[in-house]
Amino acid sequence: MGGSVHRLDAVEACLWQGDVEGAIAQFEDWHHEQVTTFVGYLNKHQQRIVNYGYYQAEGIPIGCGAIESSVKPIGRRIKISGPQ
């Protein structure tokens, strides 16, 4: 998208904290096709953007590795003969 590194860092910080309105506000005076597309994405998916900072502070894993490693034993158990 281009733009100053300072502004992009501010947008990243807002999104890490789940502050979509704050991220969109960073783009108010920035008129570019990619910016318009990104702001549209943020508006459309606003309810799905997670506050990763909160989860990290609480010690809750935010990566998919922990989830995938938990699912593997379940998948193996289902594949053995007998279980339905």
Q: Which CA distances in Å does 46 have to 19, 39, 41, 64, 69?
A: 9, 10, 8, 21, 29
pLDDT for residue 33:
93
Q: What is the pLDDT along the chain (84 residues), one digit of tens a residue?
A: 556 888 889 999 999 999 999 999 999 888 889 999 999 999 999 999 989 899 889 988 777 777 777 778 777 777 777 655
Instruction: Tell me the pTM.
Output: 0.65
65 three-class SS: helix
- Phi-psi bin for 3: left (phi > 0), alpha (psi -120 to 50), beta? left
Q: Which CA distances in Å does 79 have to 13, 37, 48, 58, 72?
A: 43, 44, 33, 35, 11
pLDDT for residue 56:
87
Structure tokens at 67: 């989830």
pLDDT for residue 84:
55
